[in-house]
Structure formats: structure tokens, C-alpha cells
Amino acid sequence: MLVTQQPVLRRFWYPVIPMARLNDGPKPFRLLNQDLVLWLDSQGKPQVAEDRCAHRSAKLSLGWVDGDNIVCPYHGWNYDGTGACKKIPQTPDRPASRVKVPAFHADERYGYVWVCLGDPVTGIPEMPEAKEPGYRMFHQFHEVWRTAGLRLMENSFDNAHFSFVHRESFGQYDKPIPADLNIEEGEYGFRFETKAPVNNPESQKKLLKMDSDTTVRHMTSNWYMPFGRRLNISYPNGLVHSIVTYATPIDDEHSMICQWAFRSDSEEDAPEAEIIAFDRQVTEEDKRVLESTDYDVPLDTASGEEKHMPSDQPGMVMRKMMKALLERFGESEARSDHARIPVKQEKAS
Ligand code: FES
Ligand code: CO
């Protein structure tokens, strides 16, 4: 599936940039190949429009904010959050409002600006930890990976990769068979619960307040179609570490990885920086492998293009549901002949 060729994907909400990054002025973002400018209006609400001035195509993200409006850096035309041009400084007596740039839906949730490029088919997912008392929330990662959103999502629910990808952090190399799981499908996602025995490296023992070399994670996994997941991990001592990861689609090959965490303990128990450092190690292990995969993930699981095993079930359900989504919206899957990542040649020494 080529994400930029499936219009229905424009009808979902994606986190794009932490709100705090807009405090010092407008910022650009490319979402599904659409160049956007994001800014905060005078109420502190996020606004989003196409990053291209209607006059001479300059990038509005190089401009600045005046009241509620974004000001083009080239000749100072002003646009509001609906994309309407409110002022052309060179012709103050003539109405500017016939001029418009495309504008889109923007909202704020979990400290992020969320954007939807079309008519939303579903809302921004509710995260129960955000409402329950006793949880802190903090941002972990906001970075570009050369991988498809669907690859990252499948990896998030694939417990067969722990023993191999994460053998140096928490995976148990000699226990490669993951536990069974039972997927409950919803209209725009799924959920399942499972258990996984994992290793407890020294850094984790301290953060989890556990002495044993191994422990069992009780995991509740939620998939938010198309490219979001929440992994709620509870440990035998009652500690909950819940991570939300979005692979916001930049273009067919690249995703913006947005990850934040909810924790049931306090900063004194486990400093944010140390939790992020461990999750960074784990994430780097995933990144290395995911960036080696083809970015055009085939939704047709029977084509023989990729081979499967029983533990691939979440990914298989995901592909089935994505295929059904496209059909429901009258689309067929777009494919590429050029989806392979070119092999990097070592330089002869
Ligand atoms: Fe934007 Fe001229 S290009 S005002
Ligand atoms: Co992983």
C-alpha cells in the first residue's frame, strides 16, 4: 500500500508536532505528501494551512504570526486559520478575501498538535491513562524514520521479535515462541491482552523497583487505525508503563515517530530521563531493522509476496482491516515497483 495514494488516509487524525514547538513561531510539516504550516492563534489554538502562499508560492512557514493570522515572509499577505487572505498590505483599500489557501482541521491533545486533512471518519483516540488519577505523562520521541507506518504498527504488536531484535535489552533469546493472543476487532482498530516473559537488565531493575533477573509483562495492546498504538504494560508489582506510538505518515517512505508515555510511578521513583534512555535503546533496536524493510507493505496476505507464521496474526488482521477500509471507501490498493530499499554498498578500502 502506498499511503500517499489512498485518499481515505487523509480522513484520519495524526499527531504531527509537540504544541510547545509552536511557541516560538510557525513550523512546517509534511503530512501524506502535503506541505503544511502550523501556528498558534491569539488564543493559543493550533491552526494549519497549506505551506504555500497564493501570491508567489513562498513558504508561509518562513513567516510569522500576527494576532490570529500567519504572515507571508515575502510580501506580507495575511491568512487566517480558514485559509482566507485577510490582508494584502500593498492594496489596503481592496478586499483580500477572494484569495484563499487550503486549510485543514487542527486540534490539541496529549501535548501534540493533531491534524486531519479531510472530513474525519473517526476522532482522536481517548487514552484512559490521561483521565485516570495517578498517572504522569511525558513525551519521549519525535523523529523521522525511513519506514512505512504499517511496518511500525505490525512490529508494535509482534511479540515474536523480542527474542531477536531486543536480545540485548529485554528479549529472551532462548524463548522464541510468544504466547497466544485473542484479538477483539473494532470498527477502527483492535485490542488484545497477552503476557510476555522478559529479561530485566540492571537499568530496568532500578526503574521498575524489582530485583529479579526476569519478569512477566502483562500487556494490553490497542491499535488505532491506521498508524497509532497504545501498549499498556503492567508489571507484577503493580507498576504501569503505558506507551503511545504513532507513525505519522510523511510520505510513502517516511514516518514521523511520535511517542509519549504514561507512568503510574513518580519522578522520584523513576526519573523521566532514565526511562527515556531505556526506551531509546529499545527503539533504536527496532529502528535498525524496520528501516531495512520494504516500505510498500502488501495488504493481500495470500499473494505469496511475503511469507507468514502464526504469531503474525495481529499484522494479518491489520492488513485485512486496512484492505476492507479501502474497499469501504471505494479505493483499491496502490502498489509500487520500486519499494525496495537500495542496498548500501561498503566502500572498498
Ligand atoms: Fe506571499 Fe508574495 S509570495 S505575499
Ligand atoms: Co520492538
Tell me, what's the pLDDT at 192?
96
Query: Which residues approach ligand 1 with their CB closer than 6 A?
Result: 53, 55-56, 58, 72, 74-77
Q: Among residues of the chain, what percentage have pLDDT more than 90?
A: 80
| pLDDT confidence bin for 341, thresholds 50/70/90 | low
Cα(3) to ligand 2 centroid in Å equals 23
**How much is the pTM?**
0.94
Atom of ligand 1 nearest to the CA of 88: 4
Rounded mean pLDDT of 16-33?
Answer: 98
Residue 338 has pLDDT above 80, yes or no: no
Atom of ligand 1 nearest to the CA of 53: 1
Atom of ligand 1 nearest to the CA of 54: 1
Cα(151) to ligand 2 centroid in Å equals 11
Cα(278) to ligand 2 centroid in Å equals 12
Q: Establish how many alpha carbons lie within 13 A of residue 47's alpha carbon, considering only the half-sphere containing its beta carbon.
A: 29
Segment 132-149, tens digit of pLDDT = 999 999 999 999 999 999
Instruction: List strand residue ranges (DSSP E) for the chain, in order.
Output: 14-18, 27-31, 34-40, 46-50, 64-66, 69-71, 78-79, 85-87, 105-109, 112-116, 136-145, 184-186, 189-199, 214-224, 228-234, 240-249, 255-263
Tell me, what's the pLDDT at 196?
86
| pLDDT confidence bin for 348, thresholds 50/70/90 | low
Q: What is the residue-averaged pLDDT of the chain?
A: 93
Residue 76 burial by CB count (10 A; 0-12/13-18/19+): exposed, middle or buried?
middle
Tell me, what's the pLDDT at 55?
97
Residue 55 burial by CB count (10 A; 0-12/13-18/19+): exposed, middle or buried?
middle
Rounded mean pLDDT of 41-50?
Answer: 98
**To test ligand 1's pocket by mutation, which of 66, 75, 86, 91 has the most ligand atoms within 8 angstroms of CB?**
75
Q: Which ligand is nearest to the CA of 158?
A: 2
Segment 164-208, tens digit of pLDDT = 989 988 888 898 898 888 999 999 999 999 998 888 888 888 888
Tell me, what's the pLDDT at 340?
64
Tell me, what's the pLDDT at 178?
86
Cα(266) to ligand 2 centroid in Å equals 25
**To test ligand 1's pocket by mutation, which of 37, 50, 52, 56 has the most ligand atoms within 8 angstroms of CB?**
56
Per-residue cell: 128:
484512559
Q: Atom 3 (ligand 1): residue with closest C-alpha?
A: 56
Peptide bond before residue 46 is cis, with ω within 30 degrees of 0: no
Segment 214-241, tens digit of pLDDT = 888 899 999 999 999 999 999 988 999 9
